[in-house]
Amino acid sequence: MIADLAHFSIGPDYWWVVLIKGVIVLGFLATAAAYLTLAERKVSAHIQLRIGPNRVGPFGLLQPAADAVKLLFKENTAPAGRDKLLFWLAPALMAGAAILAYAVIPLSGTTNVNGYALHWNMAHVNVALLYVLAITALGVYAIFLGGWAANNKYSLLGALRSSAQLISYEMAVAFALIGVVILAHSLDLEEIVNAQQHAWFIVMQPLAGLLYFVGALAETNRLPFDLPEAETELIAGYHTEYSSMRFGFYFLGEYVNMVTVCSLATALFLGGWLPLIPWIHSDWLGGLVGVMWFLGKASILLFLMMWIRWTLPRLRYDRLMNLGWKVLLPLGLLNIVITGSVVAARAAS
Amino acid sequence: MTVNPVAFYVIAVLVVATAIAVVAVPNIIHAAVALIACFFMVAALYLAIGADFLAATQLLIYAGAIPVLIIFAVMLTRGSMRREGNSWVRWWPLALLVTMGLGAVLLGVFAVSHDRWHRGTYPQRLLDDGTTRTIGDALLNRYALPFEVASALLLVALVGAVLLARRDESEAVLERSEEERRQREERVRHRREERDRARRARLRDGVSTPDEST
């Protein structure tokens, strides 16, 4: 049934190949999220002239494991006035939406293994870009319903802020990406990367790249756009009432979202798996090297996000809204007009 | 490519079940969540019949954006999270009538089409170009005029909404001064009534005090 369903839109594939890929992606995302928390603490420490975690394991490398154990064994508290169903559902939705989005991101170009076309993503969808935008949009509900279900005024305020922010910046991000789609003639992420053989899209679409990155910071609730959490005013906002593994799911979702937006930015603007030093992509080894390039580029973006978080202060709420609607959105429209005109002029000549 | 009947019926049952939940559950936020699930399932239905672009758009717009606005509206207009509405309104026979009419139309289409609906084949062009290119081509070439008219309509709706939501600045100032004048008059009247009442009370009690007005 699944194979039949997948035939038209996802492309034929063996179910066990998809299963293995799924397990690998899930393991990769969980590990990446865990170690990003360590990386964040290390980076923040060095920015603030401290050392950071260095007691658990060599260089503090086992810290994420210790944190996970701590989260698992903490008491799972829940406020009495909560909405039982949604309080339980929201954290799962957060982690689920974040992980689902990663299913279509191609980590490397399609390689030929003994006559079998191996795609380096879980599902080869030809509207992958739209799919990622749609699934990450569902993450809004996790924050919103979680904040509401907790029946706490700070949570509700955080949830309201967050949904307003996410709606505003979703538009800006979508408009920024249209320029890339116009140049690549496709919504398929693999084809978008392949269209960057001669020049990365950050060169041809610098404005779109910048807009996307700023929008991505806002979409992942990172500083300077972390208004939904804003410890000093909202006491962590939407997840104030969550503890133990329920909080862990929000945490996981947030860091997986970071990995997703950075991976998407890599595929869209930094040439994905395309190497700086030429390497022939033919066998699975070439594919693996491609994965290395991809993850390397994504890591640089992740570091950039951390760098920004520990450098810039938080924006005021009205300025955040002004930036989204009065700066990013018009610039995105301008980018579409310019890109469209240039493409049309080239086609005419 | 054929539509898998098992996948179709499983998804269809889920669509109907979530749709019933939308109107049946008493808590309005739960209804909104059921609506999200329903839209999600409709997207799955589109995917099952090979309309992948439509499925992604359905997810993005209907599952992702519209319910956010609904929930937002509920949050900003209703007070407590515990308040639960009554799903049975006075006009339910009318709703039943409308629904039955719609059902009759759908069944009519079903009857007229015999069994073509699940034996349909995809045009070769769609298979070659993919749904995205085909839909884009249709919207911007063949159906360009209706498409643009629809977008103009949306723009008008947008401008109208802004106009309704945002009061004119001078109007607001006028309203404020009007309000102040009314309050001032109210205060004066109130004071006068108070004074009259006090005087009457004193007269009734036979306390002789000099009249305040003299």
* Predicted-complex ipTM score: 0.79
Cβ-defined contact of A140 to B47 (cutoff 8 Å): no
Tell me how far apart the alpha carbons of residues A190 and A173 are, in angstroms, rounded to a whole number: 20
- A133 → chain B, closest CA residue: B60
Q: How far is CA A22 from CA A18, A19, A113, in A?
A: 6, 5, 19
Q: Which amino acid is at B46?
A: Y
Q: Which whole number is the average pLDDT over A51-65? A: 83
What are the structural domain ranges in chain B?
1-77+123-142, 144-205
Q: How far is CA A194 from CA A177, A212, B128, B208, in A?
A: 16, 20, 20, 103
- Please tell me the predicted confidence (pLDDT) of residue A9: 39
**A131 contacts in B (CB within 8 Å)?**
56, 59
Cβ-defined contact of A167 to B68 (cutoff 8 Å): yes
Kindly state the DSSP code that residue B142 receives in the 8-state scheme. I
Which residue is associated with the tokens 């698992």?
Answer: A72
Q: Which whole number is the average pLDDT over A176-193? A: 87
- Please tell me the predicted confidence (pLDDT) of residue A4: 41
Phi, then psi, of A54 in degrees rounded to 5: -145, 15
The β-bridge partners of A113 are A116
Q: Which whole number is the average pLDDT over B167-188? A: 76
Query: By mean pLDDT, which of A175-189, B59-73, B113-127, B181-195 is the weakest?
Result: B113-127
- A131 → chain B, closest CA residue: B56
Cβ-defined contact of B63 to A138 (cutoff 8 Å): yes
Best mean pLDDT range from A120-129, A165-174, B148-157: B148-157
Task: Return the H-helix or E-strand segment holding B108.
Answer: helix B92-112
**pLDDT at residue A66 is higher than 80:** yes
pLDDT in tens, A314-337: 887 788 888 888 888 899 999 999
Q: Which amino acid is at A340?
A: G
Q: Which whole number is the average pLDDT over B155-168? A: 84
Residues 6+ apart with CB under 8 A from B64: A134, A137, A138, A140
**pLDDT at residue A232 is higher than 80:** no
- A171 → chain B, closest CA residue: B65
Half-sphere exposure of A287 (CA within 13 A, CB side): 16
Please state whether the peptide bond connecting residue A224 to the residue before it is cis, i.e. omega within 30 degrees of 0.
yes
The structure tokens listed for A315 are 């924006």
Residues 6+ apart with CB under 8 A from A152: A79, A240, A241
For chains A and B, what is the number of CB pairs under 8 angstroms? 88
Query: CB contact, 8 Å: B162 with chain A?
Result: no
| B211 pLDDT tier (thresholds 50, 70, 90) | low
Query: By mean pLDDT, which of A120-134, A216-230, A327-341 is the weakest?
Result: A216-230
Question: Rounded to 5 degrees, what angle do the CA atoms A191, A194, A198 make?
Answer: 145
Predicted TM-score (pTM) of this structure = 0.79
For domain B1-77+123-142, the question of CATH label 3.40.630.10 is answered with no
3-state class of B51 per DSSP?
coil
**B30 contacts in A (CB within 8 Å)?**
85-86
